[in-house]
Amino acid sequence: MSSSNQLPAHANPGLGSQPVRRHHSARYYAHRVRESVATRVSKLVCSIFLFFLLLIGVITFILWLSLRPHRPRFHTHEFSIPAIAQENGFENAQINFNVTARNPNRIIGIFYDSMHVTVSYDDQNVGATSLLFPFYQGPKNTTILASSLSGATLTVNNQRWQEFLADRSQGRVIFKLDVTSRIRFKISSWDSKHHTLHANCPVGVGPDGMILLEYKDKRCPVYFS
């Protein structure tokens, strides 16, 4: 026979296409089982940790919303200078005002340790007075701040009064009522540090010296310094 018809000694034509089966030991399978259990336990621990982390975040956010102090709300309800309707009303000039301070917080109270009201015209002070005594305002409560400026508390000279009358002839006289107060927020037995609150209330009166409708019950901008 020629050499081309001979097969190598190690060749097995009947088994050439069959895969070789590998047999693993019991130790191998035990290792695989332990590895699978460890992976599942790790995933479970991570899931539990992320769940509690999310829960704590939600609770913290809710507490922050409920305990975050909201600044008081001020509204001007009345403001008048009756004497401005008179040409010679300078001698009996008097400013009357009625402003409300509202605590919008649900569980936070407010201590007003001091309060000062200033009325200005054209950025010039025309009257000032201290208002009320230190007081505590409970949650969801409204306090009426009403008073009058006259005599020593009203610093209007004759020249300024003539300016009022000149504006009156144009249909309105614009003033600004500023409320300044030192306040503290109170949550249960905890008191915050002092904050200086400013409420700036623009007000306008007509020729009769009474507040114009567009300024009545208007909310005043509030800021802290």
Q: What's the confidence (pLDDT) of residue 1?
A: 46
pLDDT tens digit sequence for 101-153: 999 998 899 999 999 999 999 999 999 999 888 999 999 999 999 999 999 89
Which of 21, 187, 16 has its CA nearest to residue 110?
187
Q: Are the C-beta atoms of 94 and 150 separated by less than 8 Å? A: yes
Q: What's the confidence (pLDDT) of residue 171?
A: 95
Domain 73-224 has CATH 2.60.40: yes
Buried b (16+ CB within 10 A) or exposed e, 128-140: bbebbeeeebeee
Q: What's the confidence (pLDDT) of residue 79?
A: 98
